Amino acid sequence: MSGKQVHGRTTVLMIAVIAVLLVLLAVLIWGLLWPMGMPVGEQDKPGETVEPDATQAAGDTVHTPEPTIQSLAFPYLLEEGKLTVDSLFQYSGYNPDCGDEMGEDIASLVITNRSEEHLAEARLTVTLADGKELAFEVRDLPAGQTVWAFAKDNSAYALSNFCTAIAGTTQFEQSTPLMADRLSAAVQETEVTLTNNSAEAIAGVTVYCHTVFEDVYFGGTAYAYAAGDIPAGGSATVSAVDCYLGEAAVVRIGAGD
């Protein structure tokens, strides 16, 4: 074989080897750039941080619904049911709990003494939906009786501004203090006659009355009237002039005041 033939075959062999190496290199590069068959750019890169969603960007505030203010349900029980507030309503006219001042749509409560005791005093605060507070006061409410009490400052009440809370203090006595062992009381509309049934004079007698209007005590106020000294077996009559809207109800009698 001539030298030219040997040199030609060697050249062809080298070209074939180089071609095979290039193919292997291409396969190797392909394998590195396409791991697990996924194109470059579709797999997560080491250390890459996922950006937050636009709706959760830093500084965004999550808004929650405002709590709903609940209206108080009536009747509302106080002192474990001894006293109930049966309703909150509007009243227009003279307010006996505000010095007989005239008013329109005055805030008013229906209160019932459901105990077997005498309610000497109740001071109640009603809170409305807008935060306004209304003060009420009831004095000398016998067991089983109902009273209409009116806002002490004559505040008007809008029906849409509902009640959200009622709180206060109460004071009870075992029975209505009428000095029944020594005195008796007779009522004729607004005239109250007290008779001393004892054998001794009673000094400094005072009688307290509520106005009764359609079988309800009208106003939380109990009016005081001085009957003076009543001799043994004697009587004294007082005129409960503040009870002109109805008739007088005697709710307390004291002596020596």
Q: What are the pLDDT digits (tens) for 131-154?
A: 999 999 999 999 999 999 999 999
Dihedral angle sign, alpha carbons of residues 39, 41, 42, 46: positive
- Across the range 231-250, mean pLDDT stands at 97
Domain parsing of the chain, residue ranges: 76-173, 183-254
239/193 Cα distance (integer angstroms): 9
Q: What is the DSSP letter of 33?
A: H
For residue 198, give the nearest of 182, 186, 180 by alpha carbon: 182
- Across the range 86-115, mean pLDDT stands at 97
Predicted model pTM: 0.73
- Percent of the chain at pLDDT exceeding 90: 71
Q: What is the pLDDT of residues 120-130, one digit of tens each?
A: 999 999 999 99
pLDDT in the model for residue 22: 46
Of 23 and 233, more confident: 233
pLDDT in the model for residue 33: 40
Band (196; pLDDT cuts 50, 70, 90) = very high
Say if CB 216 and CB 227 are below 8 A apart. no
What torsion do the CA atoms of 241, 247, 252, 257 make, to the nearest 10 degrees? 10
Neighbouring C-beta atoms of residue 114, cutoff 10 Å:
18
pLDDT in the model for residue 68: 67
Band (66; pLDDT cuts 50, 70, 90) = low
Looking at 7-11, 160-164, 241-245, which range is the least confident one?
7-11
Looking at 47-56, 73-82, 109-118, 235-244, which range is the least confident one?
47-56
Band (251; pLDDT cuts 50, 70, 90) = very high
252/177 Cα distance (integer angstroms): 5
CATH architecture for segment(s) 76-173: Sandwich (2.60)
Say if CB 223 and CB 207 are below 8 A apart. no
Q: 193 exposed, middle or buried (CB, 10 Å; 0-12, 13-18, 19+)?
A: middle
246/257 Cα distance (integer angstroms): 28
Sequence-distant (≥ 6) Cβ neighbours of residue 28 within 8 angstroms: none
